[in-house]
Amino acid sequence: MAQFAVIGLGGFGAAVAHQLMQLNHDVIGIDNEKKLVDHIAEDITHAVIADATDEHVLAELNIQNCDAAVVAIGEDIEASILCVLHLKNLGVKTIWVKANSKAHHMILKHLGVDKIIHPEEDMGIRVAQSLSYPMVSRYMALDDQYYMVKIEIKGSMIGLRLQDFMRPEQRIRAILHQRNDSINYSLDPQFVLQQGDIVVIAGYLVDLRRFSQHFVDDV
- The per-residue pLDDT for range 135-158, each reduced to its tens digit, is 555 666 666 677 888 888 888 889
219 belongs to a structural domain? no
Same domain, 45 and 101: yes
Residue 112 Rama label (left phi>0; alpha psi -120 to 50; beta): left
Same domain, 168 and 81: no
Instruction: Note the pLDDT tens digit of each residue in 15-68.
Output: 888 888 887 889 999 999 999 999 999 999 999 999 999 999 999 999 999 999
Domains identified in the chain, total number: 2
Is 95 a residue whose pLDDT tops 60?
yes
pTM equals 0.61
Same domain, 132 and 113: no
Same domain, 20 and 59: yes
Same domain, 80 and 160: no
pLDDT at 120: 58
Is 86 a residue whose pLDDT tops 70?
yes
pLDDT at 138: 62
Same domain, 138 and 162: yes
29 belongs to a structural domain? yes
In 3D space, the residue among 113, 151, 103 whose CA is nearest the CA of residue 131 turns out to be 151
Same domain, 71 and 173: no
Residue that is last in its domain, among 88, 117, 146 = 117
218 belongs to a structural domain? no
pLDDT at 78: 93
175 belongs to a structural domain? yes
Weakest mean pLDDT among 51-65, 79-93, 106-120? 106-120
99 belongs to a structural domain? yes
Same domain, 148 and 42: no
Same domain, 167 and 186: yes
- Structural domain containing residue 44: 3-117
pLDDT at 128: 43
Residue that is last in its domain, among 102, 117, 132 = 117
CATH number at residue 199: 3.30.70.1450
pLDDT at 131: 42
Residue that is last in its domain, among 92, 117, 142 = 117
Same domain, 16 and 57: yes
Same domain, 147 and 76: no
CATH number at residue 107: 3.40.50.720
Q: What is the mean pLDDT of residues 61-81?
A: 91
Instruction: Note the pLDDT tens digit of each residue in 166-206.
Output: 876 678 888 889 998 888 888 888 989 999 999 988 888 88
